């Protein structure tokens, strides 16, 4: 005989969960009592939102399904931002929430919230359990749904009486059968043949790779495919890392803050091969002017994404890794499009990323120095805003799953707890959170989590005493009317010290590398407060409503 709580903990272990991020409360006490004697590692966060972000960061860095736990009412509601973040970026995660006893459901009981109703639009699926006998089956299904097809978060809501209820016989299911849930993994052969025909004929092809390449572990196949056919590759924010930063065919990120040469190449292409990407508005700009001369091949596991934002000539529904494998088996090496590659090389040489080089402390310099120090052998997490875009532009990523950021939802406060989760996924690598002084304060209490567990996350705060990205928009489009975007100065190192964390404030260029080395040498968490040029902007930039080749802050077109 076992309680629902004990079955839950054992089921999590059967699913290979090795770490759970959570925060206790009244109705989940039966679950926490079972965790007390369990070998399953639990990390006590300081806010439930951080539990969701940490589980998300763990999932992105490991490729496994992340897991988090919170109590009912406010605890469950505090997970919502983290669940939505995971949903927008297709991150496999199972969120477990406590609930009031089934007899009190709908009675506005103390700390009751309809968390399944609240999260219905931001979960791949969710469950409200009513019977202890369903716990094992639902856990099995939840992890299967979260990690298959297009990944995403699943929520399990467990009333207290389901946790305490006793089951006579416990058998963990060995398989899942869900009627109506059958993701398509294998691409249709006829569509693949059509795609190959277009690729062979194309004179100016470009590969546009998104987060789906990372999700399906298709990076090696993507690089092989691009190299075989000599096709330049541009990535979305979520696709960064699927091709090494220094690969000669890598054009960097495209879109609003993409490289000029990536945006030029897309605009001039005659064939766009979209792989695991969803034609997001921040990528395509003015839709009718995005790749206006190109035929489009779109490979994606989610059929709902194909044709949603842009007309497609050859749709291929399937897992990107399997589709690329099939294409590699069928396609023959074609001659390099020399004129096209020469044109792309010209753009890269004459339109590089740039910033003003003087005695001021520029964020691009800091990130470049970090990139050169770790040589791609680190996990880089970011908050959201200017810090995120500078990192995407200036850090040279070598491997997939080493760049972790909130793309679709753009969640400030994501980076630090996600970095904590990433550390447990990749303890073999240094983990850096690149933050802004605005975003770091949204979950700064997690310094307590890092300190208590000696989690060696390095926090690099690009401190301009502004809500930087919003201020940039106010400068460019609102006549420099800085309405409520200036932040008072904060001594972040003193805050870190209060938690028992070491740190250093950096105010000059010659202090940058010593600070980064001190962080790397420290065996625990470390905070760097970089006092950067206050009104530094992220360029190039595509204004809202413009085509992606209509950038400001770049070079004179050539």
Cβ(234)–Cβ(290) below 8 Å: no
Catalytic residue among 10, 15, 48, 141: 48
Rounded CA-CA distance 13/8 in Å is 9
Catalytic residue among 124, 160, 295, 458: 160
Is 526 one of the catalytic residues? no
Catalytic residue among 111, 191, 441, 445: 111
Is 21 one of the catalytic residues? no
Closest CA to 503 of 531, 530, 521, 528: 528
Is 111 one of the catalytic residues? yes
Copy the structure tokens of residue 391. 């990192």
Q: Which residue has the tokens 């995120």?
A: 388
Distances in Å between the alpha carbon of 111 and those of 52, 159, 372, 537? Answer: 19, 12, 50, 44
Asked whether the CA dihedral 393, 151, 87, 441 is positive or negative, the reply is negative
Asked whether the CA dihedral 188, 194, 199, 205 is positive or negative, the reply is negative
Is 110 one of the catalytic residues? yes
Copy the structure tokens of residue 135. 């716990």
Distances in Å between the alpha carbon of 450 and those of 342, 459, 527? Answer: 49, 11, 11
Is 15 one of the catalytic residues? no
Closest CA to 151 of 125, 119, 177: 125
Rounded CA-CA distance 122/159 in Å is 21
Rounded CA-CA distance 131/26 in Å is 19
Catalytic residue among 88, 389, 412, 469: 469
Cβ(58)–Cβ(422) below 8 Å: yes
Catalytic residue among 41, 110, 197, 354: 110
- Count each helix (H run) and each strand (E run) in the chain, helices first: 22, 20
Copy the structure tokens of residue 548. 């992606």
Rounded CA-CA distance 521/19 in Å is 26
Cβ(386)–Cβ(230) below 8 Å: no
Rounded CA-CA distance 391/366 in Å is 10
Cβ(525)–Cβ(498) below 8 Å: no
Which amino acids are annotated catalytic? 48, 110-111, 160, 469
């Amino acid at each position: 005989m076992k309680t629902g709580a004990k079955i839950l903990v054992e089921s999590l272990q059967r699913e290979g969960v090795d770490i759970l991020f959570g925060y206790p409360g009244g109705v989940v006490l039966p679950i926490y009592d079972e965790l007390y004697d369990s070998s399953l590692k639990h990390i006590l966060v300081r806010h439930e939102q951080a539990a969701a972000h940490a589980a998300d960061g763990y999932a992105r860095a490991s490729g496994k399904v992340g897991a988090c736990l919170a109590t009912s009412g406010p605890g469950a509601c505090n997970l919502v931002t983290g669940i939505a973040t995971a949903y927008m970026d297709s991150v496999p995660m199972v969120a477990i929430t406590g609930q009031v006893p089934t007899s009190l459901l709908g009675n506005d009981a103390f700390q009751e919230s309809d968390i399944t109703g609240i999260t219905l639009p931001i979960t791949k699926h969710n469950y409200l359990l009513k019977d202890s006998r369903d716990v094992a089956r639902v856990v099995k299904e939840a992890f299967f749904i979260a990690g298959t097809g297009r990944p995403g978060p699943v929520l399990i809501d467990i009333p207290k009486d389901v946790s305490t209820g006793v089951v006579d016989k416990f058998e963990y299911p060995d398989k899942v059968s869900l009627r109506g849930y059958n993701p398509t993994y294998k691409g249709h052969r006829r569509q693949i043949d059509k795609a190959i025909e277009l690729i062979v004929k194309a004179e100016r092809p470009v590969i546009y790779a998104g987060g789906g390449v990372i999700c399906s572990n298709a990076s090696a196949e993507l690089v092989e495919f691009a190299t075989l056919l000599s096709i330049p590759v541009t990535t979305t924010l979520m696709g960064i890392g699927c091709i090494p930063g220094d690969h000669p065919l890598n054009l960097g990120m495209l879109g609003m803050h993409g490289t000029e040469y990536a945006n030029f190449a897309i605009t001039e292409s005659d064939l766009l091969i979209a792989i695991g990407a969803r034609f997001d508005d921040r990528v395509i700009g003015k839709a009718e002017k995005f790749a206006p001369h190109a035929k489009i091949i779109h490979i994606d596991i989610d059929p709902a994404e194909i044709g949603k934002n842009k007309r497609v000539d050859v749709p291929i529904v399937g897992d990107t890794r399997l589709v690329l494998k099939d294409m590699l088996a069928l396609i023959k090496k074609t001659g390099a499009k020399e004129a096209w590659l020469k044109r792309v090389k010209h753009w890269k040489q004459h339109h590089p990323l740039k910033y003003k080089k003087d005695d001021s402390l520029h964020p691009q310099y800091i990130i470049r120095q970090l990139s050169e120090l770790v040589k791609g052998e680190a996990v880089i997490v970011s908050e959201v805003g200017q810090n995120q875009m500078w990192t995407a532009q200036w850090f040279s990523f070598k491997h997939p799953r080493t760049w972790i950021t909130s793309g679709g939802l753009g969640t400030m406060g994501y980076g630090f707890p996600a970095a904590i989760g990433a550390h447990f996924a990749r303890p073999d690598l240094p983990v850096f959170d690149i933050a802004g002084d605005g975003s770091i304060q949204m979950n700064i209490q997690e310094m307590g989590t890092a300190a208590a567990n000696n989690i060696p996350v390095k926090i690099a705060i690009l401190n301009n005493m502004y809500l930087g990205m919003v201020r940039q928009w106010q400068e460019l489009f609102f006549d420099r009317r800085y309405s409520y975007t200036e932040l008072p100065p904060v001594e972040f190192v003193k805050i870190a010290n209060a938690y028992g964390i070491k740190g250093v404030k950096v105010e000059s260029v010659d202090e940058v590398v010593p600070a980064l080395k001190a962080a790397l040498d420290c065996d625990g968490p470390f905070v760097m407060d970089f006092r950067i040029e206050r009104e530094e902007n992220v360029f190039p930039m595509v204004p809202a409503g413009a085509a992606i080749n209509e950038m400001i802050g770049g070079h004179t077109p050539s």
